[in-house]
Structure 1
Amino acid sequence: MIETVPPHDDDRLSATARLMHDFNTEYDEPSPGPDALAGILARRIADGQATVLLARDDAGEPVGIAIARLSPSLWSDALEAYLAELYVVPPRRGQGFGRELLTAFLNTSRDAGADYAFLITSETDVSAQRAYEAAGFRRTEGEGGPVMLAYEQDL
């Protein structure tokens, strides 16, 4: 089951923040911690800058998240949706939760007024690439084109 997380639902915010923290911990990335993340998420949802989706299994346990950041497009009067985070807990991978989250991300982004969606994944994460391509995403540099690089810098 996929739920949209509202800005004032402490239980869902806490579950989402815990999964975000676990995601960063799994990949040795820094995290400000679940409490700080819950506050940040609440503000981003409330101001319309993010849509947060939470996947639960049949027992109601949180098993995955998708977070979309919406911004005005430079190419149309619509919005663009960036899939900022997609995570499924390791024991539940391969069970369709990622696919459900991707579908919900695309649907909620379209419903919010987006006409374009994009994401970034690593060159080595072949399973993620397959999932994104199965959901209709295509490599922006074209088949057989150059590998695109993502750069970042703390400000």
Structure 2
Amino acid sequence: MSKVRRATPDDADVLGALLWDFNTEFETETDDADVLAARFARLLALDEVVAVLAEDGDGTPVGFAFLSLRPAIWYDGPVSQLEELYVVPELRSQGIGTQLLDLSRRLVLEVGSPEMHIGVDEVDVDTRRFYERHGFRNIEDGVDYRMLLYIGPTGD
């Protein structure tokens, strides 16, 4: 069983490397690990961010979760958004993802978050099953649809 704990700014380099591994595994455009680490160092100091790190018995990092919290008009507490959850490929299906998710849920609940949002690509069947097994549901029961994300500039 892995040890799972809340990450601190001291873990920024490790989280940057894990996110780089995650992005390159799935051939997603990414910044270098050192750039990601610098961003993690800045973000982990914020109250609106929660990160969780999984390590094996030797202290080797084997996965992480990263969440953001945002105010919501519909709740007294913030809504949490699971931005990333990653387990190294050779250790998947061993309960590490569940450990990361469980601690993440406890930590955001402690700060009053009543609801967690997770974006999952329609074609990512294994990931969808994982979250459904943990009580998450597609907001349109029984409907499979593409997740659309619109990105645009904040100025002219």
Query: Aligned to 1:131, what secondary structure does the other structure show?
Result: helix
Alignment gaps of 5+ in structure 1: none
- TM-score, normalised via structure 2 length: 0.90
Distance 1:27 1:55 in 2: 20
1:135 is the counterpart of 2:145: no
Tell me by how many angstroms 1:54 deviates.
0.7
Task: Work out the number of aligned pairs and report it.
Answer: 151
Q: Is the 8 A contact 1:72 1:79 kept in 2?
A: yes
TM-score normalized by the length of structure 1: 0.90
Counterpart position of 1:149 = 147
SS at match of 1:32: coil
The 1:65/1:154 distance shift into structure 2, 3 A limit, reads farther
Moved more, 55-64 or 82-91: 55-64
Gaps (5+ residues) in structure 2?
none
Identity %: 34
Determine the structure 2 residue equivalent to 1:46.
45
Q: 1:146 to 1:56 in 2, by over 3 A?
A: closer
Q: 1:90 — aligned with what? A: 89
Kindly provide the CA deviation profile for residues 47-77 of structure 1, in whole angstroms up to 9, marking residues without a partner as x. Answer: 2231111111122211101000111112112
**Partners of 2:12 and 2:62 in 1: CA distance:** 14
- Matched ranges for 1:2-17 at <5 A: 2-7=4-9, 9=10, 12-17=11-16
* 1-structure distance, mates of 2:6, 2:152: 29
- AA aligned to 1:147 is Y
Aligned CA-pair RMSD: 1.4
SS state of the match for residue 44, structure 2? helix
In structure 1, the partner of 2:59 is 60
Task: Name the SS of the counterpart of 1:114 in structure 2.
Answer: coil
